[in-house]
Chains A and B, each alone.
Chain A
Amino acid sequence: MSETINRRGSLRRLAARLEIRMLGLALVVFVTLSLASPFFLQTNNLLNLLDQSVVTGIVSAGMSFVILTGGIDLSVGSVLGVTAVLMGLAMPHAGILGGVFVAIAAGAGIGLFSGVLVARFGLASFVVTLGVMAIGRSLAYIFSGQNSISDLPPGFNDLVYTPILGIPSNVATLLVLYVLAWLYLTFTKGGRTIYAIGSNREAARAAGLNVLAYSILPYIVSGALAAVAGVLLSAQILSIDPLAGTALELDAIAAVVIGGASLAGGRGSIIGTLIGVMIMVMIRNGLNLLGVSPFWQGSAIGAIIIAAVLAERLVSTRTGGG
């Protein structure tokens, strides 16, 4: 008797975990699309899904860090664009790895700039990153001379498609970054400090945590990961467009929110974000397979985002879990 109660209790605890609920939602989307389109389950398409989730996924991981502190980073898309352009300009002189290094360093530097303005000078992250978004895109045009850069070394492409343990290296990069992010946010002082800041900044300060440093760090992570995503995107298509990454911030924010994070900070998980990314990518992919007009896709995705978050809110208020 008491054992059944215990088992029911642990089941309930499991269901109360947000990641589990979102995983359930992802499964529902997966099954629905499998039934709706005969092409969805084909190996090629599944590989395609993974491939498509790399860029959004990596940017969303960085976005999770920022949102966990209660901030937001609107500049990720244009940071991706401008760092990719810088990489393209550097690559003929510095080689492939040199170019990659330039991009990531530039991304981290831009993140540091936004982070200092937000954390040290108390400006609203929305406003700061909105400004950086505009500046980044404008610089991407100026540096690239309004043209795509396509004279990239052919070996650059290997960065994406060399298999590691049978997995394409861009997907492997995505998974490794998520594992590292999860370990960092769950098992390190810095990770827990980021959560504490988002949950109650004053309490974190009064407990002596380094609020300034760990309020800046997420912006650096976000900028650097946007650059990493830009590297992989450029390597994938062997061309760099100054327009690359446009509107990517919206997909990233949507993925984080679908993954259960609170925009007020302190609540959310990196696993949830990954699930959110998968849901977003599956829906986009499924709508394409079903031949839905691209003009309607925006409405469909917007409606699904709102519905997912609303359903989550209704469920979590009823079970009292978060």
Chain B
Amino acid sequence: MAGAAAAKAAALSPSPLLEARGIEKRFGQTHALAGADFDLAGGEVHGLLGANGAGKSTLSRVISGHVRRDGGTLLWRGAAFDPSGPREALAAGIGMVMQETSLAPDLSVLENIFLPDLARPGWLRRGTWRARAEDILAILGQTSSLPLAVEVRRLSAAQRQLVEIAKALAVDAALIIFDEPTASLSPSEVERLFDVMARLRAAGHGLVFVSHRLEEVLAITDRVTVMREGRTVALGLATARLSQADIVRLMVGQELGRIHNARATMDTAAPVLTVRGLAAAPLVRDVSFTLHRGEILGLGGLVGAGRSETLETLFGLRAKTAGDIHLHGRPFAARHPAQAIRAGIAFVPEDRRGQSIVPDFSVRENLLLGHLSAHRGFGLGYRAREARVKALLETLELPQERLLDANMLNFSGGMQQKIILARWLLLGPKVLLLDEPTKGVDIGTRAAIYAMLRDAADAGTAILVVSSDFEELLGLCARIVVISDGTTSAEMASAVLDEAKLTLFAAPRSSMAATTRLLGELAEETGGAAFWALRDGGRLFCLARAGGAGEADPGFATGATPLFSETRIAAALGAAAGEAQARFIAEPDGGPHTLLIPVRSHRGHDFGVIGVSVARPPLPDAAAIARRVGDLVTRQM
């Protein structure tokens, strides 16, 4: 507890907790840090930004003792500091929450939190541990979200992160470095993490936030330091005075055009891939969409919604349990990837290191790996591809000499991703499936990857992109299919969407099953249509619909986003909301009679409306329906 007290004292004192000046670090030929500066005060969240390879990870690892610096000065609480390893840094009060967690998966949460204690002589004090762990979780405001006795392997990514944070606090870390902490979190989990970070800041801890996600940087940090090519180009600027454009300019050192601009044109007359009711247990339940020639279609949704699994099923890496896939109008089901590749499908998986890169192969062989599997001969057939490889490297602006024989792992994430993308473009695929194509890729390279994808689409390739970055999806794709809990919840033009609405459709709804059941009951009892929708800016976003054929048809289906005037119940939708008494509203043109009941959670958040449309009187009892909707809200939302 002495350390926590010291941290509070440090927060009050004006001198910074940590000061780094002119830090140098070389790895072989690479000059990873060439004069990096940084400082951090207690009670602040300090963003550390930079493109990939800018040196922010190396700098954090120097501070956390994982990497030893070659030069420069490092002051910790005003005294010179030169940790020989992470243990020494940890003992001094510097903890790190890693991108890939450093937890022991088979040990319990409690054992992981106090893992450093194992290095101490004497008996383990589990009782003391438990009490301290509960204190720590209370500080984090997460008392009930971490079961202490459970093995870490059974936790979600967000919970593991919490364990890492608790682990740092267990040794009274005054400074905690978060390296890309939000990469695998859903928006609500990010909210919770930020809540935790805010509490730590308030308690006087100094936090370093390393991230690519600019919105998050703007949301949580107090100051930012920007690095470029191993140097600090902006030290401790106040976040409040910066815009995203300012930060991007500092990171890439030049004015970028808007990253997302032109959208590829598609040929709606030529569906290439049609998917209906696809299921692959357990995560993919009911996915449907159509992908056209020359189109870039977005597959939005949250981590764990079944997006990656959908791509893997299409590519033959996962067995299909139900549904139909048509490729060029013919039924298609790949039982293994080689079959998909021969049919002209290519797949860039999310985990580059785990699923794409063959580390012992040169760049050349990595580049030709897709060719190798498509190649039918006994030999390698590399020579036949030589000219195409050369042309491709040129368009990718990759330096040809030395590149081909080099080790793949020597390159930054962005470069690696370009090479993996080139692996598949080399085959001239008809359908290109991409899973998080810009994950861990710096902004400059992102633009290049977008350009590559647009060129491929212009040449006729049909592209399906999965991304958690909704801004990227909206900018890159003309249409977006949203998956929530393994089920398609919407398929719509990105022009009518923004990040907020996309998030709404993507949010997994524990209430969805109960709501759908209620809609089904209402539709059956009234003989009309029942639907759940959001209203925004004269447009309707239909989350679910049941029943209502013929005259009762409200004029939109699940996932549709029509303007009010495009539906058959325009008058009802346009009628002033907030009437004290819910009642059926007739359409002037003889359309259906419609009852709209607003849905509000107990916290007062707007969850849209539940509507019932019937063809003609006699009208059902509006008050009874309103009561049932109210019951649903109390029980489920």
Chain A residues with CB under 8 Å of chain B are 187-190, 192-193, 195-196, 198-200, 202-210, 266-267, 320, 322
Contacts and interface: CB of A to CB of B under 8 A. Distances in A.
Contacts of B372: 189, 192-193, 196, 207, 209
A203 B373 CA distance: 12
Given A189-B375, A189-B378, A189-B379, A208 B358 contact: no
Contacts of B359: 199-200, 266
A202 B378 CA distance: 22
Nearest to B352: A203
Nearest to B369: A207
A190 B380 CA distance: 9
A203 B370 contact: no
Contact of B378 (A188, A196, A199, A204): A188
Interface in B269-325: 315, 317
Interface stretch (B17-25, B138-146, B334-342, B453-461): B334-342
Nearest to A68: B360
B399 interface: no
A320 B338 contact: no
Contacts of B340: 208
A208 B342 CA distance: 9
A209 B380 contact: no
Interface of B: 28, 315, 317, 336-338, 340-341, 347, 349, 354-361, 365, 369-370, 372-375, 377-381, 423
Contacts of A267: 360
Nearest to A195: B360
A199 B375 CA distance: 20
Given A189-B379, A206-B317, A266 B373 contact: no
B67 to A, nearest CB: 16
Given A189-B379, A202-B355, A196 B369 contact: yes
A7 B358 CA distance: 30
A202 B372 CA distance: 15
Contact of A189 (B347, B355, B357, B377): B377
A205 B338 CA distance: 9
Contacts of A322: 360
Given A208-B370, A208-B373, A188 B379 contact: yes
Given A200-B357, A206-B337, A208-B370, 14 more contacts: A187-B379, A187-B380, A189-B375, A189-B378, A195-B361, A199-B358, A200-B358, A206-B317, A206-B355, A208-B337, A208-B341, A209-B338, A210-B373, A266-B358
Contact of A199 (B338, B341, B360): B360
Nearest to A207: B369
A320 B378 CA distance: 33
A251 B338 CA distance: 38
Contact of B374 (A193, A195, A203, A208): A208
A82 B523 CA distance: 74
Contacts of A188: 378-380
Given A200-B357, A202-B354, A203-B357, A208 B377 contact: no
Contacts of A207: 337, 356, 369-370, 372-373, 423
A209 B28 CA distance: 34
A209 B356 contact: no
B358 A206 contact: no
16 contacts: A188-B380, A189-B380, A192-B380, A193-B372, A195-B360, A199-B358, A199-B361, A206-B315, A206-B349, A207-B356, A207-B372, A207-B373, A208-B373, A209-B338, A209-B369, A209-B372
Nearest to A184: B378
Contact of B337 (A189, A193, A198, A205): A205
Nearest to B357: A203
A203 B317 contact: no
Contacts, number: 79
A11 B445 CA distance: 35
Nearest to A212: B336
A188 to B, nearest CB: 6
A198 B359 CA distance: 10
Contacts of A196: 358, 361, 369, 372
Contacts of B337: 205-208
A190 B373 CA distance: 10
B379 A204 contact: no
Nearest to B378: A188
B508 to A, nearest CB: 27
Given A196-B361, A203-B358, A209-B338, A320 B28 contact: yes
B361 to A, nearest CB: 6
Contacts of B380: 187-189, 192
Top 3 A-B residue pairs of the complex, sorted by shortest distance between their CB atoms: A208-B373, A208-B337, A199-B360
Contact of A192 (B338, B355, B356, B365): B365
B156 to A, nearest CB: 22
Contacts of B361: 195-196, 199
Contacts of A204: 358, 369
A298 B69 CA distance: 45
A227 to B, nearest CB: 24
Nearest to B370: A207
Contacts of A320: 28
Given A200-B358, A203-B369, A320-B28, A210 B338 contact: yes
B80 to A, nearest CB: 30
A188 B377 CA distance: 9
Nearest to B342: A208
**Among B340, B361, B365, B370, which residue has the most Cβ atoms of chain A within 10 A?**
B361
A70 to B, nearest CB: 11
A208 B423 CA distance: 12
A210 B337 CA distance: 9
A102 to B, nearest CB: 28
Contacts of A187: 379-380
Contacts of A192: 365, 372, 380
A322 B359 CA distance: 11
Nearest to A186: B380
A209 B373 contact: yes
Contacts of B28: 320
A203 B338 contact: no
B605 to A, nearest CB: 41
Contacts of A209: 338, 369, 372-373
B354 A266 contact: no
A232 to B, nearest CB: 28
A187 B347 CA distance: 26
A15 to B, nearest CB: 16
A75 to B, nearest CB: 26
A205 B370 CA distance: 11
Nearest to A190: B378
B360 A266 contact: yes
A10 B369 CA distance: 27
Contacts of A210: 338, 373
A284 B370 CA distance: 45
A245 B374 CA distance: 41
Contacts of A205: 317, 337
A199 B408 CA distance: 13
Contact of A203 (B341, B354, B377, B378): B354
